[in-house]
């Protein structure tokens, strides 16, 4: 059967059925979109802009399988604009110029608005991104860029400043479960197949896909198409079937991109917050995803000085030893060493006093006048001390308690202020004692 434009509707339907389930189940209206109520719920900015057809250029930022491409197509349908699709992987400058000029021509001569959707826009280099700017500014196109990377790091600021940025979240297990149930019952999905799926199988797929709708639908489709029917002709999908169809969890983790930095950030902040449970979880995620264990160990060395410091000087020793041991032993046993070090550092007393001391001193050196070394502290060599006037130095070991009051820097500014945590409390009391001796010395010098 042919339609008015000469297209074979039966072949079109066959082509649609040949698409993967995830493609067939793309939402068609705003109400079909699941899991993004924070930007698409009633009264939210993005929904209002779409429904009023007042949408400007946007960048959709979120993890794989959260619906960025689907949302772009829904926006095009809702606003009745032409939908042109490109990719940061495949498109070059010439391809982009051709698309942009064609969109500009359509708007000028036919009044037709165009949405240009660019998947993985973060992969465009600066020149490719710059090509878009004049067309975005003129309103020749409505740009919708999709990225799994933080746009403020990976997309030029002139482009981000001309676009509204919306962050999409991974779908919740409840949203994934509803999507799977829709797929089983939908004519676009698996309705033609008699499927009986256990509740615990749905629970497993909803949880293990970690918010990735595409991954959940792919696993459901594999289970439905490869499971032999039972005597009644129905496909029975059990928990065991779903475990086999989805295989090992594919942890979302880009080794040089957002997930890498976000996860190590969570790891460090968990140790800083003295939560060993959270710290070992993020450590486990990194190791499971194949992170370089030496990278983790190096970050723990920095943490030991920045966040523990003199509250527990052994923290640095433990961290340095962990790096050496990890390098010597290697994975998988290195996980034990890293777990040992992470839990020690997480539960150690915390202080950033030493870190703040060096940062403040560096700022003073950089921004202020460089202070001269007092003459009695200078090195004039074996003969030059007296000739140059470098005299008057007091050797601390010749005095009671191996301490003597003298000027060591020509400023009274205090850089290191130890706290009361761990060993730093002992250091603080020692410094208080020395300060009392200095005060006593000065009082004795007053006539």
Is 307 a member of any domain? yes
In this predicted structure, which of 55-64, 294-303, 387-396, 420-429 has the lowest mean pLDDT? 387-396
pLDDT digits (tens, 9 = 90+) for 20-65: 999 999 999 999 999 899 999 999 999 999 999 898 999 999 888 8
Is cis: bond before 332, omega within 30 of 0?
A: yes
How is 313-373 classified by DSSP, letter by letter? THHHHHHHHHHHHHHHH-TTTHHHHHHHHHHHHHHS----HHHHHHHHHHHHHHHSPPPPP
Is the pLDDT reported for residue 14 higher than 80? no
Query: What is the reported pLDDT for 2?
Result: 46
**What's 128's domain CATH number?**
3.40.50.300
Q: Are strands 58-61 and 142-147 parallel, antiparallel or unpaired?
A: parallel
Say yes or no: 153 and 46 in one domain.
yes
Distance between CA atoms of 414 and 434, rounded to whole angstroms? 14
User: How many domains, in total, are found in the chain?
Assistant: 4
Query: What is the reported pLDDT for 94?
Result: 87
Say yes or no: 193 and 116 in one domain.
no
Considering 314, 347, 380, which residue would you say is the last residue of a domain? Answer: 347
DSSP label of 308: I
Say yes or no: 132 and 41 in one domain.
yes
Is 375 a member of any domain? yes
Overall average pLDDT of the 291-309 stretch = 94
Domain that holds residue 324: 258-347
pLDDT digits (tens, 9 = 90+) for 240-274: 898 888 865 556 666 556 678 889 999 999 999 99
Selected residue with higher pLDDT from 446 and 103: 103
Distance between CA atoms of 425 and 216, rounded to whole angstroms? 54
Q: Residue 83: which H helix or E strand, with range?
A: strand 82-87
As to burial, measured by CB atoms within 10 angstroms (0-12 exposed, 13-18 middle, 19+ buried), residue 411 is exposed
Is 21 a member of any domain? no
Say yes or no: 76 and 143 in one domain.
yes
pLDDT digits (tens, 9 = 90+) for 405-435: 888 888 888 999 999 999 999 999 999 998 8
Is 22 a member of any domain? no
């Amino acid at each position: 059967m042919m339609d008015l434009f000469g297209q074979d509707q039966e072949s079109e339907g066959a082509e649609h059925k040949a698409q993967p389930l995830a493609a067939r189940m793309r939402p068609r209206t705003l109400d079909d979109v699941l899991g993004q109520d924070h930007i698409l719920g009633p009264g939210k900015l993005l929904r209002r802009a779409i429904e009023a057809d007042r949408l400007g250029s946007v960048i959709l930022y979120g993890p794989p399988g959260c619906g960025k491409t689907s949302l772009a197509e829904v926006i095009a349908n809702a606003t009745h604009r032409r939908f042109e699709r490109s990719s940061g992987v495949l498109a070059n400058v010439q391809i982009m110029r051709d698309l942009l000029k064609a969109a500009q021509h359509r708007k000028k001569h036919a009044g037709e608005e165009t949405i240009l959707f660019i998947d993985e826009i973060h992969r465009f280099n600066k020149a490719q991104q710059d090509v878009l700017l004049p067309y975005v500014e003129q309103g020749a196109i409505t740009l919708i860029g999709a990225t799994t990377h933080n746009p403020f790091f990976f997309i030029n600021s002139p482009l981000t400043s001309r676009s509204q940025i919306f962050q999409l979240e991974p779908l919740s297990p409840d949203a994934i479960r509803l999507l799977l149930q829709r797929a089983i019952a939908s004519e676009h999905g698996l309705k033609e197949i008699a499927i009986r799926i256990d509740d615990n199988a749905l629970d497993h797929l909803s949880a293990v896909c970690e918010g990735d709708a595409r991954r959940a639908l792919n696993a459901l489709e594999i289970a439905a198409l490869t499971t032999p029917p039972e005597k009644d002709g129905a496909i029975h999908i059990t928990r065991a079937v779903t475990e086999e169809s989805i295989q090992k969890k594919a942890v979302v983790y880009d080794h040089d991109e957002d997930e890498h930095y976000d996860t190590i950030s969570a790891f460090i902040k968990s140790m800083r917050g003295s939560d060993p449970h959270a710290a070992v979880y993020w450590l486990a995620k990194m190791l499971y995803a194949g992170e370089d264990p030496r990278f983790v160990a190096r970050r723990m060395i920095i943490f030991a000085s920045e966040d523990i410091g003199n509250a527990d000087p052994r923290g640095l020793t433990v961290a340095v030893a962990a790096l050496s041991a990890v390098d010597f032993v290697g994975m998988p046993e290195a996980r034990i060493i890293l777990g040992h070090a992470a839990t020690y550092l997480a539960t150690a007393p915390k202080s950033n006093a030493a870190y703040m001391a060096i940062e403040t001193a560096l700022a003073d050196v950089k921004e202020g006048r460089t202070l001269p070394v007092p003459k009695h502290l200078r090195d004039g060599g074996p003969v030059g001390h007296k000739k140059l006037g470098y005299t008057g130095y007091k050797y601390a070991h010749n005095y009671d308690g191996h301490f003597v009051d003298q000027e060591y820097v020509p400023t009274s500014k205090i850089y290191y202020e130890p706290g009361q945590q761990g060993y730093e409390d002992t250091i603080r009391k020692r410094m208080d004692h020395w300060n009392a001796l200095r005060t006593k010395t000065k009082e004795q010098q007053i006539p």
